[in-house]
């Protein structure tokens, strides 16, 4: 991507919501507006020099769109659908779509549980219990289990909007689980020598 007529701007440090890079950019565009009869700069678009994608900053609302990517990438996820849904959960969070983010994570946790041997067609809390009972949750993660279980309470089919804090909690939990189940075992396989020499006598 090559942005035409991008101008020099005051340098700004931010975490790019597209690629996750922390950077300082001084290239982009600005918006001139008026406020209380004064001409002011009310918005900036900065272009990330890593991925070349634009991020909008609203000066008066103090917001960044898309917001910074939450968490870190997880390696060795064997299932492309799981990886895509995890990225979607993070994308929802970055545009403040917290309820959607929580729904993606719930779906992910169910999916992971079934892939790891849980029976399909159960309730969300059953899957969290399954992961807990089968030692997929490391000891320091167990205190999370109750609070994550509560995010699955949909018994009355009411629409319940989720908060930023709730979305963040279930995302951090999901990332921890993906790292524990897939990334750690993937790294283990990488470090094991593919050809173990056999000793001959
Ligand atoms: Zn970027």
Distance in Å, CA 37 to ligand 1 centroid: 36
Distance in Å, CA 152 to ligand 1 centroid: 33
- Ion ligand 1 neighbours, Cβ < 5 Å: 16, 18-19, 21, 48, 50-51
**Beta-sheet strand order (sheet of 38-47):** 7-15, 22-35, 38-47, 54-58, 63-65
Taking the C-alpha atoms of residue 6 and residue 47, their distance in angstroms, rounded to an integer, is: 8
Residue 156 in this model has a pLDDT that exceeds 70: no
Per the CB < 8 A criterion, the answer to whether 28 and 6 are in contact is: yes
Distance in Å, CA 57 to ligand 1 centroid: 14
Residue 95 is predicted with a pLDDT of 86
Distance in Å, CA 78 to ligand 1 centroid: 25
Residue 56 is predicted with a pLDDT of 96
Confidence of residue 160 (pLDDT cuts 50, 70, 90): confident
Sequence spans of domains, the chain: 7-65, 80-191
Model pTM score? 0.71
Per the CB < 8 A criterion, the answer to whether 59 and 42 are in contact is: yes
Distance in Å, CA 55 to ligand 1 centroid: 9
Topology (CATH level 3) of domain 80-191: 1.20.120
Preceding omega of 66 cis (within 30 degrees of 0): yes
Residue 142 is predicted with a pLDDT of 74
Distance in Å, CA 68 to ligand 1 centroid: 10
N-terminal to C-terminal alpha carbon distance within the chain? 61
Residue 115 in this model has a pLDDT that exceeds 60: yes
């Amino acid at each position: 991507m090559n942005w035409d007529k991008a101008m020099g701007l005051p340098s700004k440090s931010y975490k790019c919501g597209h690629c996750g890079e922390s950077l300082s950019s001084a290239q982009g565009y600005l918006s001139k507006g008026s406020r209380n009869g004064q001409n002011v700069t009310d918005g900036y678009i900065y272009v990330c020099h890593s991925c070349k994608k634009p991020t909008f900053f609203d000066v008066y609302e103090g917001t960044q769109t898309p917001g910074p990517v939450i968490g870190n990438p997880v390696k060795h996820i064997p299932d492309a659908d799981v990886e895509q849904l995890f990225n979607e959960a993070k994308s929802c969070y970055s545009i403040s779509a917290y309820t959607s983010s929580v729904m993606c994570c719930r779906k992910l946790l169910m999916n992971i549980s079934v892939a790891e041997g849980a029976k399909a067609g159960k309730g969300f809390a059953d899957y969290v219990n399954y992961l807990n009972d089968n030692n997929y949750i490391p000891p320091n993660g167990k205190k999370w289990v109750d609070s994550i279980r509560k995010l699955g309470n949909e018994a009355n089919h009411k629409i319940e909007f989720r908060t930023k804090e709730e979305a963040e909690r279930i995302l951090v939990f999901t990332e921890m689980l993906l790292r524990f189940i897939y990334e750690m075992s993937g790294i283990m396989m990488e470090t094991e020598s593919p050809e173990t020499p056999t000793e001959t006598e």
